[in-house]
């Protein structure tokens, strides 16, 4: 039996995610009625803004000025379901209670591991063998609600954000049919385990400095992990000394590249630096 046709409001601050999700919902026979974005004081570096070109998005876009505005905005839209994907705010309980079928969220980790805003970076930092994708019901605490679906994909040594994000998005989209089938049956999902929960918050000073005496893989993963951190973090990293100058290391390779690169000897072998920027 297929899903009931649901009126769905999308919560997201990424236009590409809204377009991708809305297209998928239409294909699955649902009705994406609007997308709500959080008004940010400062734009997130590297992300497209809804204030830019949204002409290709065939869906109404609303800006919520603050968390307290979410409940009245959602009430005005009368959704059956709220779907959150890359939304930066914790949604208040009163807003979560508006849709009759509840609210669901896409989270890029195998919950309860890596709850929070920095899950992919922590996946790399801690040396997990797999990235994860979880669809779960939303509750007042971040990433704590019952699980509706999970999948994983291997962590590869040379993965970049341009490899991983599309891979995880593809998994998330493919899971939506089954997730919405469960939602339409008012299936609550499975409670998250009490064991194995970790916090995936922003990186701090303890991970901001590069120690070139560490193993090659550890340094390489440190550089990669920082590339997945949100653009609004207050600590900048990873920082290391190269040729007598302090630089932020942006990209490295464990294999000799076919381009100009700076060779650094780490604790157990060579690492090639592909991109840096000077630190003030």
Q: What percent of the chain has pLDDT over 90?
A: 85
pLDDT class of 190 with cuts at 50, 70, 90? very high
Phi, psi of 71 (to 5 degrees): -60, -55
CB 228 within 8 A of CB 238: no
Angle between helix 161-184 and 15-27 (nearest 10): 40
What are the tens digits of pLDDT across the range 71-117? 999 999 999 999 999 999 999 999 999 999 999 999 999 999 999 99
> What are the residues facing 199 on neighbouring strands?
115
What is the predicted pLDDT for the residue at 40? 73
Residue 46 above 50 pLDDT? no
Domains of the chain: 7-184 (3.40.50.170), 205-278 (3.10.25.10)
Whole-number Å distance between alpha carbons of 176 and 241: 46
Report pLDDT for 11.
Answer: 98
- Residue 48 CA to residue 117 CA, distance in Å, equals 18
Q: Give the C-alpha separation, 35 to 250, whole Å.
A: 33
State pLDDT tens for residues 103-153.
999 999 999 999 999 999 999 999 999 999 999 999 988 899 999 999 999
Going 42 to 46 to 47 to 48, the CA torsion angle's sign is positive
């Amino acid at each position: 039996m297929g899903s009931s046709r649901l009126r769905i409001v999308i919560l997201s601050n990424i236009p590409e995610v809204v377009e991708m999700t809305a297209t998928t919902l239409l294909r699955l026979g649902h009705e994406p009625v609007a997308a709500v974005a959080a008004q940010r004081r400062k734009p997130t570096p590297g992300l497209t803004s809804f204030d830019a070109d949204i002409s290709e998005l065939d869906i109404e876009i609303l800006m919520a000025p603050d968390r307290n505005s979410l409940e009245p905005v959602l009430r005005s839209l009368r959704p059956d379901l709220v779907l959150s994907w890359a939304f930066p705010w914790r949604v208040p309980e009163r807003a979560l209670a508006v849709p009759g079928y509840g609210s669901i969220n896409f989270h890029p980790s195998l919950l309860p591991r890596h709850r929070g805003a920095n899950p992919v970076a922590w996946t790399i930092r801690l040396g997990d063998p797999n990235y994860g994708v979880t669809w779960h019901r939303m509750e007042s605490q971040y990433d704590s609600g019952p699980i509706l679906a999970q999948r994983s994909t291997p962590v590869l040594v040379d993965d970049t954000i341009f490899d991983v994000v599309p891979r995880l998005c593809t998994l998330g989209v493919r899971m939506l049919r089954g997730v919405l089938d469960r939602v339409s049956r008012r299936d609550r999902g499975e409670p998250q385990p009490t064991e194995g929960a970790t916090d995936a918050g922003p990186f701090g000073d303890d991970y901001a400095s590069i120690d070139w005496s560490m193993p090659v893989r550890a340094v390489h993963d440190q550089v990669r992990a920082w590339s997945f951190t949100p653009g609004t973090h207050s600590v900048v990293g990873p920082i290391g000394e190269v040729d007598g100058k302090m630089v932020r290391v942006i990209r490295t390779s464990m294999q000799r590249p076919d381009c100009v690169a700076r060779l650094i000897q780490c604790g157990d072998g060579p690492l090639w630096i592909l991109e840096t920027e000077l630190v003030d």
